[in-house]
Amino acid sequence: MEYFPIESLPPEIQLKILKNLNFDELFNVKQTNRYFCDFIDNYKESFGPKKFQELFLTLFKDVKNMKKLKRKSIDFPLSNRVQEKCLSVLDEEMPVFTLITQVSHIKPSKPLLIFNEDPWFVPEEDKKKKCLSLPSRPTKIEEFKIVRYWLNQILLTDFETFNFDCFIFNPEMINLLFDSEEIEEFKFRCQEACFSFPNRNFNAWKFTLDNLVVSKCLTINFKSINTSRWENNMILNLLLNEGSKFSVITLVDLYYDQTALYNNFITVRNMELILLIF
């Protein structure tokens, strides 16, 4: 019996074959070579968006029972412009992430992305989770390619919940890794998004809110952190300017004198907003 490589078959036959693969299998094929990487990207709409219950961005997590996604070298093509930008900052060690919560006993250089496939009612020990550790400060072109590849995979995925627990993506890194026309289409899609405060990097906040597509609810957990009047004004301006995109905004665990922030917000915006104080 004579065998033919799959790439020698007509594109429509290749597509039919690849559609039978699950997420992990398709990911492994995509990493095989440049041909399959480009082919799957070109026909990504035919595969439909990948779906996960939750993407959890955190600094510390017990990962012994999780499947670790391999971070091997990826032959992901960069445009000449993007490659030039990456080469120009190799010595700067630009961070991929902006830290939100200061955790003194955890090194901030080891952020984790946790992909959860199962809904909330599945017991924690039975949930199917995958964890990924990206280069935190790329110093090689290969590391920039890895970060860009995984950011691109996240953009092609629909999530029930996007949980920014300890950090968010650094806007400077995203602007570095994507061309201007790509950034215009850069969107994190989910039904619910959760932020943890404090995070004094309001530019990173604004960028993230600008690029969020949330169909249900945005939650901001203040963790009873006392904020200054200037910070409250900055938060209020962000919510007023970006909040119209969200039908529901939940403010959680406010400090007692932050109720003015809530009162000012609901008097300006005519939307459903829930205030929770624990």
Banded pLDDT at 121 (limits 50, 70, 90)? low
- At residue 107's C-alpha, the angle toward residues 105 and 113, to 5°, is 115
Report all structural domains of the chain as residue ranges with CATH numbers, in order of start. 1-48 (1.20.1280), 53-221 (no CATH)
| Beta strands at 129-132 and 112-116: parallel, antiparallel or unpaired | antiparallel
Phi, psi at 112, each rounded to 5°: -125, 145
Asked if residues 141 and 86 have their Cβ atoms less than 8 Å apart, the reply is yes
Q: Distance between CA 87 and CA 138 in Å, rounded?
A: 11
Asked if residues 156 and 50 have their Cβ atoms less than 8 Å apart, the reply is yes
Banded pLDDT at 243 (limits 50, 70, 90)? low
Average of per-residue pLDDT values in the chain: 76
pLDDT at residue number 108: 47
pLDDT at residue number 6: 76
Side by side, which strands form the sheet with 112-116?
Answer: 67-68, 129-132, 112-116, 50-58, 157-164, 188-196, 212-221, 248-252, 272-276
Q: Distance between CA 262 and CA 236 in Å, rounded?
A: 9
Nearest CA-CA partner of 217 in 246, 237, 189: 246
Whether residue 82 has pLDDT greater than 80: yes
Whether residue 117 has pLDDT greater than 80: no
Average pLDDT over residues 54-67: 75
| Cβ atoms within 10 Å, residue 207 | 21
